[in-house]
Amino acid sequence: MRSCRDALRDTNLRDIAKHLGLYGVDLCEARVVPDVEEEIVTSLNHLRERYDYVITTGGIGPTHDDITADSVAAALRCRALRTPRHPRHDAVALAGRTDAGEAADGPGAGGR
């Protein structure tokens, strides 16, 4: 059986690291996580504890069965809002919540 690492060629990592480096931001860790909600949530929460910023990318684009946005929302304890912004794409925005569950624009805004 092939692992997700065998099946994917990451074209984003090199470019992200290069562009972040131009701004003095060092890339500290990269992961390939399968499309399994529990693994996405666990990985994201572990990374959030260790780093100030976490960037998620990947997949072949939004599909009807993509679980990434909902999994990220679950890790952040908020809901994923899908808002059509372009005829060919759905933009996904997270209704921001702090760890205390307050709205991001309310008391305690700024989060991590």
Q: Tokens representing 101?
A: 């569950």
Q: Tokens representing 46?
A: 């572990």
Pick the CATH number of 4-77 from 3.40.980.10, 3.40.309.10, 3.40.50.1970, 2.60.40.420: 3.40.980.10
Separation CA 108–CA 101 (nearest Å): 10
Q: What is the pLDDT of residues 42-101, one digit of tens each?
A: 999 999 999 998 988 766 566 777 888 889 999 999 988 776 655 555 545 555 544 444
Cα 35 → chain centroid: 12
Q: What is the pLDDT of residues 35-58, one digit of tens each?
A: 899 999 999 999 999 999 898 876
